[in-house]
Chain A
Amino acid sequence: GQQLNQSPQSMFIQEGEDVSMNCTSSSIFNTWLWYKQDPGEGPVLLIALYKAGELTSNGRLTAQFGITRKDSFLNISASIPSDVGIYFCAGQLLPSNTNAGKSTFGDGTTLTVKP
């Protein structure tokens, strides 16, 4: 099955710094999604990307869908303490595939922000 490699595994940064994390796959995806998960809660959708090359922002967050369809990155600018959490990337296959809609997740990047 598909594997998503998410890096880095963890990050420790100072408040105000910018953050970058990425996700790579050996397979092509039709959709890339970025989620944030707090302890004991479900993932919350941050950004969804639907076209290769697409660059989308949501406040201080910016994500891009790689041209090859096999990677995506997420940037967080001017980090604040509430950015702490685990960030997951997820990919979805082409709609014509029977696996359509099922998301394959990376193993997450744990972000710690020091005030």
Chain B
Amino acid sequence: DTGVSQNPRHKITKRGQNVTFRCDPISEHNRLYWYRQTLGQGPEFLTYFQNEAQLEKSRLLSDRFSAERPKGSFSTLEIQRTEQGDSAMYLCASSSPARTSTDTQYFGPGTRLTVL
């Protein structure tokens, strides 16, 4: 396993611009999660996929946020019309409950978004 990878690692954008982040999970992990983390806080759940199906979305995920996992492998998280309050670390995690009988999640290094 090469681990969960995320790109880009850092993104600086101006308010109102759209941004897209990518997550590549551990191969054969069928569950993929997105979390958001602000300074001094623990990660907060945004959404998760089982294969290509998006099964749950948090109330934190406003209409400006959309996530996809079209082929059940990598996932993208897009934020439209970014606001300064969107500045945070966006973390991706993957798990394989079918294989391990648990939903232990392994995290990527995150994408730090700064909205100016």
The residue that B48 contacts in the complex, of A35, A90, A102, with Cβ under 8 A, is: A102
The residue that B105 contacts in the complex, of A50, A103, A107, with Cβ under 8 A, is: A103
The residue that B42 contacts in the complex, of A42, A95, A101, A107, with Cβ under 8 A, is: A107
Q: A101-B48, A102-B48, A102-B56 are in contact. Are A44 and B107 (CB under 8 A)?
A: yes
Interchain CB contact under 8 A, B103 and A43: no
Interface size on B, residues (CB 8 A): 27
Interchain CB contact under 8 A, A98 and B56: yes
Asked if B45 is an interface residue, CB under 8 A from chain A, the answer is yes
Task: Give the interface residue-count category, chain A.
Answer: 20 to 34
Asked if B26 is an interface residue, CB under 8 A from chain A, the answer is no
Residues of A within 8 A of B45 (CB): 102-104
Residues of A within 8 A of B91 (CB): 42-43
Closest chain B residue to A38, Cβ basis: B109
Least Cβ–Cβ distance between A41 and chain B, in angstroms = 5
The residue that B109 contacts in the complex, of A35, A42, A105, with Cβ under 8 A, is: A42
Query: Could you list 19 A-B pairs, sorted by A, with CB under 8 Å?
Result: A31-B102, A31-B103, A40-B110, A40-B112, A41-B109, A42-B108, A42-B110, A43-B91, A44-B107, A48-B102, A50-B102, A88-B42, A95-B103, A99-B56, A102-B33, A103-B105, A105-B42, A105-B43, A107-B42
Give A contacts to B, CB under 8 Å. 4, 6, 31, 33, 35, 40-45, 48, 50, 88, 90, 92, 95, 98-108
A109 to B97, CA, bound (A): 28
